[in-house]
Amino acid sequence: MPFRRKTKSNLLAARLADIAFAVPQVVAHRMARMAATGASLSKRDREEFHGMIVEKAVAFGESLNTMTMQAFRVNQALAVSFVRTCWSPFFTRGSASRTATATMHGAALSILSQGVAPIHRKVVANAKRLSRTKLR
């Protein structure tokens, strides 16, 4: 098997694939649990159903925060790159646009990867936890 580098795009694709496989498992388990519970909820069921709502808000808030901070870092790096290019235009010889394009591509991937990480972490943890529990 050939060695594959762990690039930003490969990492993002792997996280999104994990989410795509884990979400249906979590939804199926929780829907079955709701059907089995009926009208009378136990304390464990109330905590699980309340957690379903709270965990989404927390994960998406954390995702938004990490994406914002990563975008801030990327904007700082791009500003430094722009200033460096303006101060030395004769030394770049036309490669500035290729460098800027590669930098923007890498920046977008890093922002998306940082944003998907908290959601990935929570979804995969839920799938593992719920796969170990019984419905009743």
Work out the number of other CB atoms within 10 angstroms of the CB of residue 1.
3
**Mean predicted confidence (pLDDT) in 39-52:** 85
pLDDT for residue 63? 93
Question: Predicted confidence band at 1 (pLDDT cuts at 50, 70, 90)?
Answer: low
Indicate whether 136 pLDDT > 60.
no
- Residue 79 vs residues 49, 52, 61, 85, 100: alpha-carbon distances, Å: 46, 41, 27, 10, 11
Q: How far apart are CA 22 and CA 17, in angstroms?
A: 9
Q: How far apart are CA 51 and CA 22, in angstroms?
A: 17
Question: Predicted confidence band at 8 (pLDDT cuts at 50, 70, 90)?
Answer: confident
pLDDT digits (tens, 9 = 90+) for 84-107: 777 776 655 556 666 777 778 888
Indicate whether 75 pLDDT > 70.
yes
Question: What's this model's pTM, rounded to 2 decimal places?
Answer: 0.74
